[in-house]
Structure 1
Amino acid sequence: MKKILSIILCFVLCVSIVGCSSNSSSNSVQSNSENVKENKNYSLELTNGTFKVGEDLDPGEYILVKNEGEFMGNYDITTDTTGDMESSIDSNAFENFSYIEVKKGQYLQLDKCTLYIPSELGDKFDFSNEKELTNGMFRVGKDVEPGEYKLEIASDDDNAQGWYSLYNNLGKGYKGGPDLQDSDFFSGSKLITLKEGQYLKLDSETKLIK
C-alpha cells in the first residue's frame, strides 16, 4: 500500500507542478547539472538510458541530478525489461536531485537526469550551513540532524500546498525498493520528526526550517 500511495502522490505532484506558474521561489540549495558539471570528470556518470546493476554500475547508493534545461528528471527501477507493472520496484520524478539505492540484477532507467557517486560531488551538496532546505532529497544524519522540524510553504501563493515524502531507507522496502514512512500534502505549516538514517524529499513549494 505504501508503494501504491507513493506512486499516486508522485503523479499528483507532477500534475500540480505542471499546473503552477513560474512564481515558484528559487532557493539556495538549487543544484542541477549546470553547476555540477564544471568540466570535471567523474568516475561514473550515466544519463538518459537503461542500465543493468552489476554490469553498467555497481550496487549501492547514488545521487540523480536533473539535467540542465529540463523541467523534471525521472527514473524507474525494475526487476526486468518487460515493461510489466509487476516488474516495477520504484518509479519517481523530481525537480532538482534525489537519491536512489540499486541492487545487483535490477535495471535502472534514467530520463532527463544524470547519475553520480554522491561522494564525488563534494561540497556541492553540503547543506550544513543552510538555515532552510527545499527542493531535493536530504539525508537525516548527514544533511540535517535528527529531531523535530517545521515544514512551511516556500511560495507566496495563497493557494500553494506543501508536499513531502519521508523514507526510512531506500532499499529495504517492497521488493527491495524504498521503505516509505509517510507522504502527504499540507497547507500552512507542519511539524515533522526526523530519525537517523531517514531520507526527506521536498518539492519547490516546501521548505524545512532548521
Structure 2
Amino acid sequence: MAFLTEKQLNEMGFAALGHNVLISDKASIYGAQRIKLGNNVRIDDFCVLSAGEGGINIGNYVHIAVYALLIGAGEILISDFAGVSSRVAIYSSNDDYSGNFLTNPTVPTKYTNVTHADVYIGKHAIIGSGSVILPGVSIFEGTAVGALSLITKNCEPFGVYIGAPAKKIKNRKRELLMLEEKLINGEE
C-alpha cells in the first residue's frame, strides 16, 4: 500500500492534520476542509471520506481499514484508539425509505426527506467488518460491534453488540485502559 506524502497531505487542505498520518493514495477524500485528523491515524486503500456540513473529526491512534465509508451531512466523530474495520459504512445522512418521498441526491430536496444526524464513535470502540452505522447513533467508549451488525440505536459503554439490528450480548473487558495509560506514559 502506498501512502500520500506529507506534502500531498498538506496540499489537501484538511481542517486539522496531526503527525504520523498515513492515508492511502487509493483513498478518496471529499470536503477535506471539513475533516480533522489527529495523530497516528491510518486510512487504508479504497476508503471514502465524504465530509458534509458537520464534518469528520478523527482522533488519535485511529485505524480506518480498507473499503470503509464515512459519509453524510451530520458530524462523524471517531474518538482516540477507535478502529473501523473493512467495509464498515458510517452514515450521518439517510434517505426516507417509506415510499412517501423520492430518494437519491439527483432529486431536488423538496421531494426528499433526508435525515441528517451526528454519529459518535467513542474512545476504544471497535466496529467489526461489514457493519453499518446509521445517523444519530452514539457508540460509547469501549464498545465492540461484531461483524455484519446494523447499529440503529446507541450502544452502552464497554458493551459487545452483534446482529441486525444489533443487540448487546455481554460486557467487554477494560484491561485496554491500562494499556492505553502505559502507551501514553511511554512504558514498555
What is the TM-score when the length of structure 2 is the normalising length?
Answer: 0.26
Q: Which has the higher relative contact order, 1 or 2, with Cα contacts under 8 A spaced 6 or more apart?
A: 1
Which of the two has greater helix per residue? 1
What is the TM-score when the length of structure 1 is the normalising length?
Answer: 0.24
Which of the two has greater strand per residue? 1
